[in-house]
């Protein structure tokens, strides 16, 4: 009877981005990108005779529920009596680390030396609900990521983060939070110099955050929301929703919260109330935050 070798099965592998680290994820995708386009010329024919071939780089996506309960470090066994000490993380840990180092001034031309990992954060989406907390990271690099550990296991246990592990603080807005979404975008430019190899230098030019939070409300509370500072402006004044925008998820070292700070002031471009027969009345508040170095994890 034919049997498929285990090396073809995803669950037997561990992802690793640095020495003695492993990331637990639900999905990992990777693409090699080499921008190529036909070049039409006066050439005696209308077919393709010339191609324009640009830079070479890699895109990666890591998606997974956020986890609670992983204890570090752990001993990783290769099944043959050999053990090594490995720290396990989820992609929320990876996000916090990339933000911490990537959004500071960079003084080293090596991505690994400057950031700690051979990848850069391009964007991140975090979905928070009463069912789960999920994080999806979109990364870029000049090298491929290869799953580093096969068939090596450790006695780790964890669970997915739920509503009772999660706090979404949103300035002065108080209420019964049903869900929230956060979108972080990094402006990465690929820079090329004459005579270099095909892979680019990556310039980190900026970053921003937007998102929304959904609340259960009474109709009168909608009036309160639309009258908040930051949902409108006045002549000669800057009116903002003051107070910390912050996502805290339990499960860090010794059970401590892992905190994603998104700024201490925000503007509210859209506040939408929804009433539907048989359903809870909700208000979705969109926000754009003043997101800068002073709001980053220290």
**pLDDT at residue 10, as a whole number:** 86
Residue 293 has pLDDT above 90, yes or no: no
Task: Quote the DSSP letter at residue 11.
Answer: G
| Closest to 268 measured CA to CA, from 236, 235, 222 | 222
- Rounded CA separation 86/154 (Å): 9
Confidence of residue 155 (pLDDT cuts 50, 70, 90): confident
* Mean per-residue pLDDT, 174-191: 90
Residue 194 has pLDDT above 90, yes or no: yes
| Closest to 183 measured CA to CA, from 213, 212, 214, 209 | 209
Residue 9 has pLDDT above 80, yes or no: yes
Residue 146 has pLDDT above 70, yes or no: yes
Report the C-alpha dihedral over residues 99, 105, 108, 113, rounded to 10 degrees: -20
H or E element: which one contains 185? Answer: strand 176-191
Handedness of CA 142, 144, 149, 154 (dihedral sign): positive
Residue 85 has pLDDT above 80, yes or no: no
CA atoms within 13 A on the CB side of 201: 12
Q: Which residue has the tokens 């002031």?
A: 265
Residue 71 has pLDDT above 70, yes or no: no
- Rounded CA separation 63/129 (Å): 16
**pLDDT at residue 49, as a whole number:** 93
- Rounded CA separation 185/89 (Å): 22
Give phi and psi for 111, each to the nearest 5: -60, -45
**pLDDT at residue 297, as a whole number:** 55
Task: Name residue 125's beta-bridge partners.
Answer: 136, 183
Sheet holding 21-23, edge to edge: 21-23, 83-89, 74-77
**pLDDT at residue 112, as a whole number:** 73
**pLDDT at residue 231, as a whole number:** 86
- Rounded CA separation 128/179 (Å): 5
21-23/83-89 β-pairing: parallel
**pLDDT at residue 242, as a whole number:** 84
pTM tops 0.85, yes or no: yes
297 in Cβ contact with 96 (< 8 Å): yes
């Amino acid at each position: 009877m034919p049997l498929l070798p285990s090396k073809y099965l995803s669950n037997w592998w561990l992802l690793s981005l640095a020495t003695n680290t492993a990331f637990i994820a639900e999905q990992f995708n990777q693409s090699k990108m080499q921008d190529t386009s036909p070049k039409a010329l006066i050439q005696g024919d209308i077919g393709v005779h010339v191609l324009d071939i640009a830079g070479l780089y890699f895109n990666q996506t890591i998606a997974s529920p956020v986890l609670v309960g992983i204890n570090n470090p752990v001993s990783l066994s290769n099944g043959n009596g050999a053990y090594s000490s490995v720290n396990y993380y989820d992609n929320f840990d990876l996000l916090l680390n990339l933000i911490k180092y990537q959004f500071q001034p960079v003084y080293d031309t090596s991505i690994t030396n400057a950031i700690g990992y051979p990848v850069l954060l391009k964007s991140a989406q975090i979905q928070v609900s009463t069912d789960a907390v999920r994080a999806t990271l979109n990364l870029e690099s000049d090298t491929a990521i290869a799953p580093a550990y096969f068939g090596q296991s450790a006695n780790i246990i964890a669970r997915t983060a739920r509503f009772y592990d999660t706090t979404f603080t949103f300035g002065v807005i108080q209420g019964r939070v049903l869900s929230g979404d956060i979108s972080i975008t990094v402006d990465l430019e690929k820079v090329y110099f004459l005579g270099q190899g095909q892979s680019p230098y990556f310039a980190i030019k900026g970053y921003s955050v937007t998102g929304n939070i959904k609340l259960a409300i009474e109709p009168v509370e909608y009036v309160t929301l639309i009258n908040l500072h930051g949902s409108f402006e006045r002549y000669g004044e800057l009116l903002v929703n003051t107070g910390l925008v912050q996502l805290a998820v339990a499960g860090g070292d010794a059970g401590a919260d892992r905190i994603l700070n998104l700024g201490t002031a925000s503007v509210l471009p859209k506040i939408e109330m929804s009433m539907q027969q048989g359903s809870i009345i909700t208000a979705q508040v969109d926000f754009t935050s003043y997101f800068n170095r002073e709001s980053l994890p220290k």
